[in-house]
């Protein structure tokens, strides 16, 4: 690519509405451009990176014999109704109608269509197993798009699906895909962890996430360096930290706590420690209301609640709803006298003489005990904290942020049963097919690589996915000898299949160096004054060393460097 006549620009200033490093650097280097909230253009340089990521994915899918196809993005809504996922996706789904008022959506994911496609092939056990995949845009109407390519509303995804006769077959297919994913992310140069996660809107038996470890990741990961335990904090099991006390049960007291609605305010007012409080939160879970009680210094884990109640939607009740249910202002809810089901966190079970809201504005109860109210369920429904230790080995945990770049699900029979994907076994019985599904967020991979590989000058692409491997910078484009040498290198590098940029723009050398650093090309060859002695300079983006080398050895040197990567 000769820059003078190519679509290419750089921005010196930081992009105004990009709060992440990757969003900013990718925008400044004309790899991407935002068109609207959570929707981006992939510009020529950025699209090269995408194509390189896709190439790695395709090679590894070929290795495990997964066949590539392409599904439509426009899908009749009724297909998602059959599996209950119209509700599960809720407002996250982009809905639209055609001219005859038939309802469609822009597919948020494709389990349903893949199941339907599989049904055309599968008649008997002889037709199984197999895996198929696509690389295609997905659409989700995220409430909050952010972090550049990390949380977007239209995103490029690779999604694969496996089809097997039984659970053992599914386990084998899952392991094949899992190992292929490990290879893919290693080749992409991403530092990642595999964590157990919530099966969420996919449903199914087991789900694991591939998480790129970064500072800005939206997922909170819990990692034990001692035993290797790693989980998304949404599912990380909490141990019970509150020990049983032999404290005597005291008499319950209604106390006035005027305009003290937060735990801090009430604890100051009552001169009681915050650990004596139990919070009561009113939730609307699907269409029912629940009160959830956790110790005052804990937070409710909504993902755990969702799983516990097998619910699709978990939301805090609105202020009006809370007032209606408790008869008091927000901040004074408590379990006594409530007529909605109460869910207790494990931690509350060992507490005695605690403080709760009295369902009466400006009042709390002191010395409340479990005997004072009925409860519906007791479980682990709180968020893990840095006071918790590893649920596996009891050692200290570390907390990291992660970007979910891939996931693998054992779906089991959910989709085959609801969409009628059955096969005849040897005994001529009709048996549902066992399915797995496996995703990779391609734009997210690109963003994760940048988050993990940059410096104050710009991006540092790993060689395998860099948009170009070599950049030739001509210091003075008016100097014929320099241009001849640069063209010689450019033609010969391209001849042996090494993708190369020729920076032949009429710009100062400093501007060109900065631009090549910003866009992160792994190897730079500078053709300047020394060309009169047939000398050029080679520099790697990752290193700070410059090396003078004969023009005629430069190509061998480039090959050497690339071989070593």
Q: How far is CA 402 from the centre of its chain?
A: 7
* Candidate segments 160-168, 250-258, 386-394, 525-533, binder of Zn ion by CB under 5 A: 386-394
Query: Could you say which residues in the range 278-337 bind Zn ion, by CB under 5 A?
Result: none
Query: Could you say which residues in the range 116-175 bind Zn ion, by CB under 5 A?
Result: none
Least Cβ distance, residue 389 to Zn ion (angstroms) = 8
* Candidate segments 111-119, 133-141, 388-396, 434-442, binder of Zn ion by CB under 5 A: 388-396
By beta-carbon proximity to Zn ion, the closer residue of 26 and 222 is: 222
Q: Which two tokens stand for residue 241?
A: 């930290």
Least Cβ distance, residue 229 to Zn ion (angstroms) = 4
Interface residue with Zn ion among 45, 135, 152, 224 (CB under 5 A) is 224
By beta-carbon proximity to Zn ion, the closer residue of 41 and 393 is: 393
In SS3 terms, 423-474 reads as EECCCCCEEECEEEEEEEEHHHHHHHHHHHCEECCEECCCHHHCCCCEEEEE
By beta-carbon proximity to Zn ion, the closer residue of 86 and 237 is: 237
**Distance from C-alpha of 21 to C-alpha of 11, rounded to nearest angstrom:** 14
The answer to whether 237 contacts Zn ion (rule: CB under 5 A) is: no
Least Cβ distance, residue 387 to Zn ion (angstroms) = 15
Least Cβ distance, residue 211 to Zn ion (angstroms) = 17
DSSP string of 375-404? Answer: -SEEE--B---TT-B-TTT--B-EEEEEEE
The answer to whether 390 contacts Zn ion (rule: CB under 5 A) is: yes
Question: In 10 A of CB 561, how many CB atoms?
Answer: 17
* Candidate segments 113-121, 393-401, 499-507, 515-523, binder of Zn ion by CB under 5 A: 393-401
The answer to whether 399 contacts Zn ion (rule: CB under 5 A) is: no
By beta-carbon proximity to Zn ion, the closer residue of 333 and 390 is: 390
Interface residue with Zn ion among 392, 401, 418, 499 (CB under 5 A) is 392
Least Cβ distance, residue 384 to Zn ion (angstroms) = 13
The answer to whether 229 contacts Zn ion (rule: CB under 5 A) is: yes
Least Cβ distance, residue 240 to Zn ion (angstroms) = 17
End-to-end CA gap in the chain: 23
Interface residue with Zn ion among 86, 103, 183, 226 (CB under 5 A) is 226
Least Cβ distance, residue 208 to Zn ion (angstroms) = 17
**Distance from C-alpha of 540 to C-alpha of 549, rounded to nearest angstrom:** 14
Q: 154, 445 in Cβ contact below 8 A?
A: no
Question: How many residues sit close enough to Zn ion to count as binding (CB under 5 A)?
Answer: 8
Q: Which of 61, 106, 395 is nearest to 224 (CA)?
A: 395
Residue 380 CA: distances (Å) to CA of 110, 304, 438: 32, 7, 29
The residues, ordered by sequence, that sit 6+ positions from 389 with a Cβ below 8 Å of its Cβ are: 239, 395, 396, 397
How crowded is the C-beta side of 288, counted as CA atoms within 13 Å?
14
Return residues touching Zn ion (CB under 5 A). 224, 226-227, 229, 390, 392-393, 395
């Amino acid at each position: 690519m000769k820059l003078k006549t190519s679509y290419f620009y750089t921005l010196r200033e930081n992009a105004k509405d990009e709060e992440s490093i990757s969003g900013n650097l990718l925008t400044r280097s004309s790899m991407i451009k935002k068109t609207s909230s959570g929707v981006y253009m992939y510009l020529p340089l950025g699209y090269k990176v995408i194509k390189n990521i896709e190439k790695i994915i395709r090679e590894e899918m070929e290795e495990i014999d997964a066949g590539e196809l392409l599904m439509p993005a426009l899908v009749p809504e009724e297909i998602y109704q059959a599996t209950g996922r119209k509700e599960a996706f809720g407002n996250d789904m982009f809905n639209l109608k055609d001219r005859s008022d038939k309802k469609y959506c822009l597919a948020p994911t494709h389990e349903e269509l893949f199941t339907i496609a599989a049904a055309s092939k599968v008649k008997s056990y002889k037709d199984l197993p197999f895996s198929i995949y696509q690389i295609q845009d997905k659409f989700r109407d995220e409430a909050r798009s952010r972090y550049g390519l990390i949380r977007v509303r239209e995103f490029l995804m690779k999604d694969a699906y496996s089809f097997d006769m039984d659970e053992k077959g599914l386990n084998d297919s899952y392991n094949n895909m899992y190992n292929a994913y490990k290879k893919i992310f290693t080749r992409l140069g991403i530092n990642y962890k595999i964590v157990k996660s919530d099966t969420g809107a996919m449903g199914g038996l087991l789900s694991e996430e591939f998480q790129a470890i970064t500072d800005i990741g939206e997922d909170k990961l819990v990692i034990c360096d001692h035993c290797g335990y790693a989980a998304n904090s949404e599912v990380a099991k909490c141990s019970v930290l509150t020990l049983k006390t032999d404290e005597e049960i005291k008499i319950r007291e209604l106390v006035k706590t005027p305009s003290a609605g937060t735990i801090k305010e009430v604890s100051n007012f009552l001169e009681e420690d915050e650990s004596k409080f139990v919070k009561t939160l009113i939730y609307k879970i699907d269409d029912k209301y629940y009160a959830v009680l956790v110790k005052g210094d804990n937070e409710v884990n909504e993902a755990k609640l969702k799983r516990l109640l097998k619910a699709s939607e978990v939301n805090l009740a609105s202020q009006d709803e809370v007032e209606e249910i408790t008869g008091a202002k927000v901040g004074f809810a408590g379990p006594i006298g409530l007529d909605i089901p109460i869910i207790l966190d494990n931690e509350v079970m060992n507490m005695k003489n605690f403080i709760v809201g009295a369902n009466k504005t400006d009042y709390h109860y002191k010395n409340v005990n479990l005997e004072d109210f009925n409860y519906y369920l007791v479980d682990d429904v709180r968020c893990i904290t840095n006071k918790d230790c590893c649920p596996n080995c009891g050692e200290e945990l570390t907390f990291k942020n992660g970007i979910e770049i891939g996931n693998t699900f054992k779906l089991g029979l959910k989709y085959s049963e609801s969409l009628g994907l059955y096969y005849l076994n040897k005994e001529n019985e009709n048996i549902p097919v066992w399915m797995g599904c496996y995703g990779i967020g391609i734009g997210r991979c690109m963003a994760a690589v940048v988050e993990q590989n940059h410096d104050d000058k710009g991006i540092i692409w790993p060689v395998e996915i860099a948009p170009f491997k070599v950049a030739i910078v001509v210091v003075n484009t008016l100097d014929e000898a320099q241009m001849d040498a640069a063209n010689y290198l450019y033609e010969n590098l391209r001849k042996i299949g090494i993708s190369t940029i020729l920076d032949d723009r009429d710009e100062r050398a400093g501007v060109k160096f900065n631009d090549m650093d910003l866009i992160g090309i792994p190897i730079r060859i500078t053709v300047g004054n020394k060309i009169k002695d047939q000398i050029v300079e080679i520099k790697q983006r990752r290193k700070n060393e410059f090396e003078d080398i004969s023009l005629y050895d430069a190509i061998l040197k480039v090959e050497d460097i690339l071989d070593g990567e």
